[in-house]
Structure 1
Amino acid sequence: MPWTTGQRLQGGKYVIDKVLGQGGFGITYKALHIELNRTVVIKTPNEYLSHDPEFEKYIERFIQEGRTLARLSQHPHPHIVGVIDLFRENSIHCLVMDFIPGENLFQVVRRRGALPEVEIVPCIRQIGEALMVVHQAGLVHRDAHPGNIMLRSNGKAVLIDFGIAKELVPKTLSSTSNAGNHGFAPYEQMTRGSREPTVDVYCLAAALYYGVTGQPPTTSLARKLDNSSLTPPRQINPKISEQLNQAILKGMALEAKDRPESMYVWLAMLEKPKAMASLALEPVHREEVVYSKGKLNSQTIPGKSAIKFPKIIPWDWLVSILLIYLLIGYLLAVSNASYILWAVTWAWACTVAETVAVAWAVACAGDGCGPGDRVVQTHIATARAFLEVGGQHIVRGTDAKQVVAVESRTVVFTASLGDQWNHAHSTASGGGRG
């Protein structure tokens, strides 16, 4: 006889509120945990099953699986109802679980009709992930129909009522006695009591069928015994995708060997194919550096050292300095200044002149020698002219040895200046092409 409202269990630890459900294998109560002030669910087997010859065996399995679920609850899964306690009240074994507020999938579909694919598929995936954990623990739910899938107001789904009370009845009666499971169990479960994970695959695929069509599927027994056909869900609801349509039909394959071998494989069929990341074809920009005519590319060539060009001092400054020194030498010569003073000035003029010539020869080498050639050559010619004129005036008032010295220095300097220019120019011409 079921417990009544207000009845106390475990010395007043739990107080029965009401009966939530009753079937051929057990009764589910809503109760209050007094100490925790927490609403719970208490599940028990029916008393009449005590007359079954294998009752003790079923009870032993009930306790074993209850303890396994309690261990799972030590690491709570967000989509699996938590097991709180396992106790015995007189001769009745009881399993205490969390109370999950909300509506089950049956109630939601009856109220709203077929649910959108984008809404129901995530919930089914959550239940599938919960069943994967159950399977890894060596258990099979065997009752994942819409009545045991609770939908919270936050859109999360929770798997409840593990159905381990089914182990307390003959296996051939475990599903047929439950009207809620009608049409959601594979025929091998109802005829042979199969506990393979493919049973849960079929049940969950059938629950998804119901969610997207609003109609229960053709029962597996009718398909097996009467050769009835299963209407593809997309014929009922054309709004669902072909991928979802095929995933449901594959999960509900009549024979277990034709279904996905595990819950993981079936859930993979629900995943939308990842859009291939389109390779962003960004415009290819070819950067071309345009150099001025006659300029050499200063980029380093692999395997060769970079060419470094000297900094160029403004040519007009250098030439001006050269002319000033030449003018000083000229004036000293005209004024018959002492040979020593003139010689010192002359040495400075030669040094600056050679510096100008070499600097500009290198500069032209770096530039490839363009119009600058003519400028420098013009100034060198001017320098030679000054030297020649200066040399002529120096002859006045000097002896023959001084004349020879002056003439010699003039010739040597002008020849040296010209040779350095020609050498630099030929180096630039050859190096620029090499």
Structure 2
Amino acid sequence: MKAGDVELARLAKARGWISDGVQRRALAEADRCQAMGLEKSIDEILVEQGTISSEQARGLREALGLSIRQPRVGDYEVVRRIGVGGMGTVFEALHVRLKQRIALKILQPRLSKDPQAIERFVKEARVLAKLNHPHLVHAVDAGQDGDRYFLAMEFIEGENLLQLLLRAGPQEPLRTAEIVRDVCAALELLESKGLVHRDVKPANILLRTDGVVKLADFGLLTTAEGAAGQPICGTPHYMPPERLRKGGEVDVRGDIYALAASWYHLLVGKPPFTGKSTREIVQGHLELEPVPPSRARPGVPPAVDRVILRWLAKESAGRPASAREAREEVERLMASLRKHPSSKLLRRHWAVAGALVLGLALVAAAVWRKPEGSGSKAPEPKVPAVAEPAPPAPP
């Protein structure tokens, strides 16, 4: 739950706009969304439910000093917030002259005085400007307005994979393979540039309304060499074992592992390893074997098991050596799935059961950092001060 949510709910109740029951349910919904990696504020939830109007929500935020104090940043007019991450808040915005819709990522105010954070933010903008791929979100502008650093990116009309899971439940094997193939294609370009994404997860994989897949959020993007000695950052449910070990190597095989964990989640309804704490999740990645997807969701073809479990190998040497190899493996799998599609009965069964399975998924949206030299015990996840995407959440 984000800062200010409890105060917003209390103020709405004090003004007689909501009851005790509505307040409790809205706060519970905010917690549920956060557990799934979706960042929604209390006022957004209440507006979506039709309990209060947009004007009332704006009044609540203004009363508490939570409204956007600078609706214009550079050449862009802020329209609405899309999502919040550890590094920045993403807004839908309009170019004041061109009236072009963009996703505007603004560095968190608390980081605007941090030279390292600014350097990372600027680096993300520079790298994105050089990348051009149909399955990568591309940058259109970057700059500084006073103490605000911003990055303007293409606006994706659609949803991220976590939002898809919440709306429609686990997806069919062939559709999940198609999405994974497109992400592999995006990773191929990054790999060709010597780059590692380091934050592949459902919230950072966007699905446009026309079906086009986009990989987003490059805040942790780095070179394999540049990752050495950096603190461990990311979402525990999708982090490869080698990144959880001190001094572990960082390359595209780690992104492939994270993609496999995301694939598993999209197919089954929960990540391969869950737990009540970060420590339990990390232990799963390091020591436990994942339950085969076909056991977690009866009817998943054995061929899908083989590919996903190979990509989830504890040692990176057991996974595809490149994004291209991974993509080609998925394409072979897709050809097999087209010859032997899932039965309609299975699809109907899981359309209902998927919602129940999804409710068991404990996916922390928190960005977890392991201080250098802290040993093997992992700390609890930290909730971002404000709050992918899913994008639609862009990044």
1:329-366 deviation digits (Å, cap 9, x = unpaired): xxxxxxxxxxxxxxxxxxxxxxxxxxxxxxxxxxxxxx
- How many angstroms does 1:202 deviate by? 1.0
1:266-285 equivalences under 5 Å are 266-272=326-332
Change (3 A) 1:239 1:82: same
- Could you tell me the TM-score, scaled by structure 1's length? 0.54
Please state whether the residue corresponding to 1:272 is helix, strand or coil. helix
Change (3 A) 1:6 1:48: closer
1:158-215 deviation digits (Å, cap 9, x = unpaired): 11222348999x943521xxxxx34112143355586421221111111111111111
Match of 1:9 in 2: 73
In 1, Cα distance between the equivalents of 2:263 and 2:141? 31
In 2, Cα distance between the equivalents of 1:21 and 1:201? 25
- How many angstroms does 1:2 deviate by? 7.8
Match of 2:14 in 1: none
Please state whether the residue corresponding to 2:93 is helix, strand or coil. strand
Match of 1:199 in 2: 254
Please state whether the residue corresponding to 1:216 is helix, strand or coil. coil
Change (3 A) 1:266 1:231: same
In 2, Cα distance between the equivalents of 1:20 and 1:189? 29
Match of 1:162 in 2: 218
Equivalent residue for 2:121, pick from 45, 57, 62: 62
Match of 1:95 in 2: 151
- What code does the residue aligned with 2:188 have? M
Match of 1:39 in 2: 101
Change (3 A) 1:5 1:29: farther
Matched, 1:209 2:264: yes
In 1, Cα distance between the equivalents of 2:317 and 2:71? 48
In 2, Cα distance between the equivalents of 1:148 and 1:246? 25
Change (3 A) 1:133 1:256: same
Equivalent residue for 1:245, pick from 305, 311, 319: 305
| 8 Å CA contact retained: 1:174, 1:190 | no
In 2, Cα distance between the equivalents of 1:72 and 1:133? 8
In 1, Cα distance between the equivalents of 2:97 and 2:81? 21
1:355-374 equivalences under 5 Å are none
Please state whether the residue corresponding to 1:244 is helix, strand or coil. helix
Please state whether the residue corresponding to 2:89 is helix, strand or coil. strand
Change (3 A) 1:117 1:21: same
In 2, Cα distance between the equivalents of 1:140 and 1:160? 13
In 1, Cα distance between the equivalents of 2:221 and 2:149? 10
- What code does the residue aligned with 1:104 have? N
- What code does the residue aligned with 1:37 have? K
Give the number of equivalent residue pairs: 260
1:10-409 equivalences under 5 Å are 10=74, 13-49=75-111, 55-73=114-132, 77-164=133-220, 171-172=230-231, 174-175=233-234, 181-190=235-244, 192=246, 195-218=250-273, 221-224=282-285, 227-272=287-332
- Could you tell me the TM-score, scaled by structure 2's length? 0.59
- What code does the residue aligned with 1:263 have? A
Match of 2:370 in 1: none
- How many angstroms does 1:95 deviate by? 1.3
Tell me which structure has the larger Cα radius of gyration: 1
| 8 Å CA contact retained: 1:62, 1:164 | no
Please state whether the residue corresponding to 1:114 is helix, strand or coil. coil
1:261-290 deviation digits (Å, cap 9, x = unpaired): 211122222233778xxxxxxxxxxxxxxx
| 8 Å CA contact retained: 1:25, 1:165 | no
Structure 2 portions without partners, runs of 5+: 1-64, 275-280, 337-395
Q: Pick 1 or 2: higher relative contact order, CA cutoff 8 A, min separation 6.
A: 2
| 8 Å CA contact retained: 1:40, 1:99 | yes
In 2, Cα distance between the equivalents of 1:211 and 1:107? 11
In 2, Cα distance between the equivalents of 1:151 and 1:188? 29
Change (3 A) 1:122 1:5: farther
Please state whether the residue corresponding to 1:271 is helix, strand or coil. helix
In 2, Cα distance between the equivalents of 1:229 and 1:251? 12
In 2, Cα distance between the equivalents of 1:234 and 1:173? 32
1:35-64 deviation digits (Å, cap 9, x = unpaired): 22121112233233356xxx4345334323
- What code does the residue aligned with 1:14 have? Y
- How many angstroms does 1:18 deviate by? 2.3
- How many angstroms does 1:259 deviate by? 2.0
Change (3 A) 1:245 1:58: same
- How many angstroms does 1:90 deviate by? 1.8
- What code does the residue aligned with 1:46 have? Q
